[in-house]
């Protein structure tokens, strides 16, 4: 099973107590697209799994609603050093040396499954961000935490087809 299918299967358990389901999966290079349904809402998600990191772009009814990075399999040392399970930090997000998008990131540490989820406030990205993401090769994220800066890098080649599919399918869902 490839990593995109594995990520989708995490959410596809029909016996899930959370009522989470996945209805469709399509791959495009190292990206995939699928419909993720929670009990109260369905969204279309473009996802890239790169090692222990996952990058998500979500749409509901033709609107860009979520940009998220998850880091899985955190070590005992990282978990022990983490003081709070939820906080917010500032970050700079940039594709291929283009516009620097300064955003707020909500970090949510899930100790039971050793995962750090980072939610980026999408309204601070601006309209050009999705086009940069779809046409780019590398995404750089710099987190500013307690007077220190930490960097992350993602290869985003192939994101164009997955993001466009998620966006178009979410618009289709918006039709009456």
Q: How many domains does the chain have?
A: 1
Helices (H), the chain: 3-10, 76-81, 128-135, 159-174
- Mean pLDDT confidence for 72-98: 93
Spatial distance between the Cα atoms of 68 and 43, rounded to a whole number of angstroms: 14
pLDDT digits over 3-38, tens only?
A: 444 444 434 444 444 667 777 677 767 899 999 988
Lowest mean pLDDT among 1-10, 72-81, 130-139: 1-10
Q: What mean pLDDT value characterizes the chain?
A: 86
Structural contact between residues 166 and 45, judged by C-beta atoms closer than 8 angstroms: yes
Spatial distance between the Cα atoms of 154 and 138, rounded to a whole number of angstroms: 6
CATH of the domain at 139: 2.60.40.1880
Which of 48, 44, 35, 36 lies closest to 62 in space, CA to CA? 44
pLDDT digits over 47-72, tens only?
A: 999 999 999 999 999 999 999 999 99
Residue-range definition of the domain harbouring residue 129: 3-174
CA 37, 42, 44, 50: dihedral to nearest 10 degrees?
-40
The overall longest dimension of the chain from CA atoms, in Å, is 50
């Amino acid at each position: 099973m490839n990593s995109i299918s594995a990520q989708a299967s995490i959410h596809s358990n029909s016996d899930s107590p959370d009522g989470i389901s996945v209805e469709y999966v399509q791959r495009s290079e190292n990206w995939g697209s699928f419909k993720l349904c929670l009990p109260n809402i369905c969204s279309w998600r473009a996802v890239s799994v790169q090692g222990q990191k996952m990058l998500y772009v979500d749409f509901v009814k033709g609107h860009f609603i979520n940009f998220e990075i998850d880091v899985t399999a955190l070590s005992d040392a990282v978990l022990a050093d983490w003081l709070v399970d939820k906080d917010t930090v500032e970050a700079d997000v940039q594709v291929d040396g283009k516009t620097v998008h300064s955003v707020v990131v909500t970090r949510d540490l899930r100790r039971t499954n050793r995962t750090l989820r980072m939610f980026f406030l999408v309204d601070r990205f601006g309209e050009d961000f999705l086009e940069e993401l779809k046409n780019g090769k590398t995404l750089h994220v710099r987190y500013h935490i307690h007077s220190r800066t930490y960097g992350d890098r993602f290869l985003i080649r192939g994101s164009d087809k997955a993001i466009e599919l998620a966006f178009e399918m979410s618009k289709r869902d918006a039709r009456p």
